[in-house]
Amino acid sequence: MIRNKPLLLVFRLVLGGLFVYAGVVKVVDPLGFAQDIRNYRLVGQAISFVAAVVLPWLEIVAGAFLIAGVWKRGAALVITGLLVFFIVLTLVTMARGLDVECGCFGSLSRKSGWGVVFEDLGMLALGLCVLSAPAALERTPAGKR
Amino acid sequence: MTEARRTLRQALALAALSVLVAAAVHLPLIKRFARGEFRETFFVQADYPGVRLITLAEAEELWRAGETTFLDARAADLYAEGHVPRARNVPAAAAKTFVPVLIRRLAHETPLVVYCEGGDCRSSLILARQLHDGGFKDIRVLGGGWEEWKKAGLPEETGDDQE
């Protein structure tokens, strides 16, 4: 468990920033992202559409709250949940032998593969650090240790 | 309230907020979906006036006529393994570099056929969009892509794009 407050702040800014960025590039092209989701061949046209509309905003909102430090545990929970989902999705896709673009960072994303899994695992580690930081640490007023 | 419950409630509230923002921002798109659009494809013809999806037979005819420039939107290594003869390699991922070159070299009226791997590949559409935005007026996308061309036993060429 990491108790170093400046380090936790850096983790929050990096992870939140990545999520806001990933969300923004998808928000500008919802139909393109919908096609990316459809290409995973797990859900139909309607669910792909709904996910493409909501998911980018979930990334932006959770990322922004994490950066702002408001409801940071809730935001970290959303982000770690999403990352676990992305990792499972990528592994399942690889196991099925599908050659799809991951859709992670908008229209020019890489192919779904080990690179994506390792990247997600790295982000997951940051998210878990934020999520597991002792609550007492957060509430300690500045200057008192 | 325990810490875990508080965290869970925050996460649910964030999810609800995201749904609200998404619904507000994408309301026009959601209305179009409710009216029955996007049930077959997410490609919207009206958004790309010069872009048309074509079949393999049409692509073959254009290729044999020899007046159309074929563009392979796949990565360079896939292009080198096999591509439509005379097709130029314009990887969609590097379209920002290649499209301005094409704009300088080709007249905007030049008919273009763009293809990628096939099936559900999206890079041909990404490239078609950039070409359309760059001013090209006649862009056709071979939906079946390289897979379909190869399966039909049509002529192939291997090696890197020399230009």
Place of tokens 């507000």: B24
What residues in chain B have their Cβ under 8 A from chain A's Cβ atoms?
Answer: 3, 6-15, 17-19, 21-23, 25-26, 29-30, 33, 38-40, 42-44, 92-93, 117, 120, 122-123, 125-126
pLDDT at A16 over 70: yes
Mean pLDDT of all residues in A71-81: 96
Q: What is the interface pTM, i.e. ipTM, of the complex?
A: 0.89
The answer to whether residue B106 scores a pLDDT higher than 50 is yes
Count of helices and strands (H, E) across chain A: 6, 0
Under the banding of pLDDT at 50, 70 and 90, the label for residue A107 is low
Give residue for tokens 């890079």. Answer: B123
For the cut 50, the answer to whether the pLDDT of residue A145 exceeds it is: no
Q: pLDDT value at position A143?
A: 45
Neighbouring CB atoms inside 10 A of B30's CB total: 17
Sheet strands (E) in chain A = none
Q: Is A131 on the interface with B (CB under 8 A)?
A: yes
Report residue A123 CA to chain centroid gap.
8
Q: What are phi and psi of A54, to 5 degrees?
A: -90, -45
The residue of chain B nearest to residue A41, with distances taken between CA atoms, is: B120
* CA A82 from centre of chain: 5
Lowest mean pLDDT among A22-26, A77-81, A126-130, B107-111: B107-111
B47 phi and psi, to 5 degrees? -75, -20
**Is the CB of residue B100 less than 8 Å from the CB of residue B119?**
no
B14·A61 Cβ contact <8 A: yes
A27 touching chain B per CB within 8 A = yes
- pTM score: 0.75
3-state DSSP of A76-118: HHHHHHHHHHHHHHHHHHHHCCCCCECCCCCCCCCECCHHHHH
Q: How many pairs of residues across A and B have Cβ atoms under 8 Å apart?
A: 96
- In angstroms, the Cα distances linking A139 to A6, A133, A145, B62 are 15, 11, 11, 70
pLDDT for residue B126: 81
Superfamily of domain B39-151: Rhodanese-like domain (3.40.250.10)
CA distance A71 to chain B (A): 6
Query: With contact defined as beta carbons under 8 Å apart, do B56 and B62 qualify?
Result: no
Query: In this predicted model, what pLDDT tens digit does every residue of B25-76 receive, in sequence order?
Result: 999 999 999 998 888 778 777 777 788 888 899 999 999 999 999 999 988 8
Closest CA to B160 of B101, B70, B71, B82: B82
Q: How many CB atoms lie within 10 A of CB B13?
A: 15
Q: What are phi and psi of B22, to 5 degrees?
A: -60, -45
Average pLDDT over chain B, rounded to an integer: 89
Q: Are A19 and A59 in contact (CB under 8 A)?
A: yes
Bridge partners, residue B4, by sequence: none
Q: Please report how the helices A45-68 and A72-95 are oriented relative to each other, as an axis angle in degrees rounded to 10.
A: 140
Query: Among candidates A37, A11, A26, A7, which has minimal Cα distance to A100?
Result: A37
Q: How far is CA A45 from CA A35, B41, B118, in A?
A: 9, 8, 19
**For range A76-87, the mean pLDDT:** 97
Q: Give the integer Cα–Cα distance in Å for B149 and B69.
A: 16
- Write the burial class of residue A35 (CB in 10 Å: 0-12 exposed, 13-18 middle, 19+ buried): buried
Rounded to the nearest angstrom, the minimum Cα separation between A144 and chain B is: 22
Cα–Cα distance for residue pair A45/B116, rounded to 1 Å: 22
- CA-based nearest distance B41→chain A, Å: 8
* CB atoms inside a 10 Å sphere around CB B88: 20
- Helix axis angle for A45-68 and A30-39, nearest 10°, is 110
